[in-house]
Structure 1
């Protein structure tokens, strides 16, 4: 990658970096809130360049997502076909909860200080137009592992399959062209209970070996692994991929250990089906056993517009 220029705005496929900040905000009822937020997101490219130029080798990038409840007032544009609030999924044992969120900023860099500086300048611009719903700082853990000890993101699409899986095609309509849906869930882990399991049992739950990340077959009992439940195929056997930029977060001193799930997709239904299979089970009743150790604290959905559409929002 060239270090002469910053990463293009709204690049959902920006590199996985050492640090990331996941910032979910709600728009307040202050008189100029909509105008302030609209101006901020429309000018996000300039703010990004202002921070990225300080170290072009740090792969700084920011992706902005807009939520369903604020879309009409913030953009005044036709709605993306699949955009709706995150749907609560209630299984027999576990529930994927839905939480608020109007605007999302996925801030990432090889340097934590650049993420910090961008967040500081952004919040100065937004002021009392927004309230913080959640802010989580993620970090890369060893060779892209989660805190459960397994490699995360192995199934991500590569090459030509990446834009085909993540970006909406030009022919759908000019509002959504080049955009993507993104789903967020903040999971906390019961690490003590997880570590009490034998490695073989952990591997059966995940569907891969822990040390060398080799794919495993599911048990004959009918209980499917996390890997299998997150594999979505249509009736013709065509597999639908998503792009995961998951990151660990936490503080051992407070006993907090977690994974921030973030999935980008051209088709929102693909991620929703994954979650249904995890929480309800396939067949129903055989839920993803990782949920016995991982609890979602949030659940939100956003649409990530193209950079040109985002920039046009402040054209008036």
Structure 2
């Protein structure tokens, strides 16, 4: 029997941290050698991470890299494409739209210390140089007791435990036999940057806010679902089941961000999943509504200004990108 090549996933399930940087870049193909520079940098990412993490081993430093659909072939040198990897498709509901924005690479940088995120990004950009152009660079922070800026606990539905997390977010060889050598141990990643209309949200009573979210604000207790055919809460619309009624989870590591002086308040959504269709179905339920026309009312107060899909291959795949 042929031996299997060891699969070392990236740290997509790293602990929730106090700080994060979400860096999305596009490759500057007009610059000679840009793709080679990117591949070399990604192949050396583990060493770069260790160089920063060693400064405080208790700070839970981690960096996850995602590769976008349009950049997959050039960055990987033609490795097999994961079965579900495709560009983010805009979702147009009757009232709100989930827009698509460009991005070839995602760097999800996180730690309990902001300076470690800063230092890693500095060293990373020194290596990439003008081989890339920054599309978006958002600094996130953990707000109070894991709440978003709307005041509600965020991430309650995340899978708990190593087995549950791995089952929800890591692609298996059986999931994608045609690209198993590349896809196994990887994860699909969807990011969206939401801006909140806090004055309008705060004008709602606590009871109305709770009806929108589907949980109590103070103690995070789940409220009963609305009757079939009625307006569903966010927690219901964000719950995805397949045709057999099996519920599928994703791993969220959302972060608050903002600039009070500029009147900017938001949530950076990042979802990791073993199956891209799960995230896509969740967003379709939110923006189109169930039934159609009854969209997620959180969208009346939170507007997405980005939307991009990536695939985070195993660390062992990244390490081999500079082999030619």
Alignment TM-score, normalising by the size of structure 2:
0.94
Q: Does the Cα contact within 8 Å between 2:9 and 2:316 map onto a contact in 1?
A: no
Aligned to 1:101: 103
Aligned to 1:251: 259
Identify unmatched segments of 5+ residues in structure 2: 1-7
Pick the aligned partner of 1:229 from 215, 229, 237. 237
Per the TM alignment, residue 9 of structure 1 is displaced from its structure 2 partner at its CA by 7.0
Q: Does the Cα contact within 8 Å between 1:9 and 1:45 map onto a contact in 2?
A: no
Residues in 2 aligned to 1:88 and 1:205: alpha-carbon distance in whole angstroms: 23
Q: Deviations over 1:63-109 (max 9, x none)?
A: 00000001011112011000011000000000000000000000000
Aligned residues: 309
Aligned to 2:184: 177
Per the TM alignment, residue 170 of structure 1 is displaced from its structure 2 partner at its CA by 2.9
Pick the aligned partner of 1:77 from 54, 76, 79. 79
Per the TM alignment, residue 279 of structure 1 is displaced from its structure 2 partner at its CA by 0.4
Per the TM alignment, residue 251 of structure 1 is displaced from its structure 2 partner at its CA by 1.2
Q: Does the Cα contact within 8 Å between 2:66 and 2:311 map onto a contact in 1?
A: yes
Residues in 2 aligned to 1:261 and 1:219: alpha-carbon distance in whole angstroms: 25
Residues in 1 aligned to 2:155 and 2:222: alpha-carbon distance in whole angstroms: 13
- Secondary structure at 1:175 match in 2: helix
Identify unmatched segments of 5+ residues in structure 1: 1-7
1:197 is the counterpart of 2:200: no
Residues in 2 aligned to 1:185 and 1:170: alpha-carbon distance in whole angstroms: 28
Q: Write out aligned runs for 1:1-316 (5 A).
A: 10-29=10-29, 30-75=31-76, 76-159=78-161, 160-171=163-174, 172=176, 173-220=180-227, 222-316=230-324
Q: Does the Cα contact within 8 Å between 2:9 and 2:185 map onto a contact in 1?
A: no
What is the aligned-residue RMSD (CA, Å)?
Answer: 1.0
Alignment TM-score, normalising by the size of structure 1:
0.96
Q: Deviations over 1:125-144 (max 9, x none)?
A: 00000000000000001110
Per the TM alignment, residue 274 of structure 1 is displaced from its structure 2 partner at its CA by 0.3
Per the TM alignment, residue 236 of structure 1 is displaced from its structure 2 partner at its CA by 2.0
- Secondary structure at 2:135 match in 1: strand
Per the TM alignment, residue 235 of structure 1 is displaced from its structure 2 partner at its CA by 2.3
- Secondary structure at 1:174 match in 2: helix
Per the TM alignment, residue 12 of structure 1 is displaced from its structure 2 partner at its CA by 0.2
Q: Deviations over 1:8-60 (max 9, x none)?
A: 87210001100000000000020110000010111100000000001101110
Residues in 2 aligned to 1:282 and 1:313: alpha-carbon distance in whole angstroms: 43
Q: Which runs of 4+ in 1 moved over 2 A?
A: 218-221
Going from structure 1 to structure 2, the CA distance change for 1:54 and 1:9 (only over 3 Å counts) comes to: farther
Q: Deviations over 1:231-263 (max 9, x none)?
A: 111222210000000000001111100000000
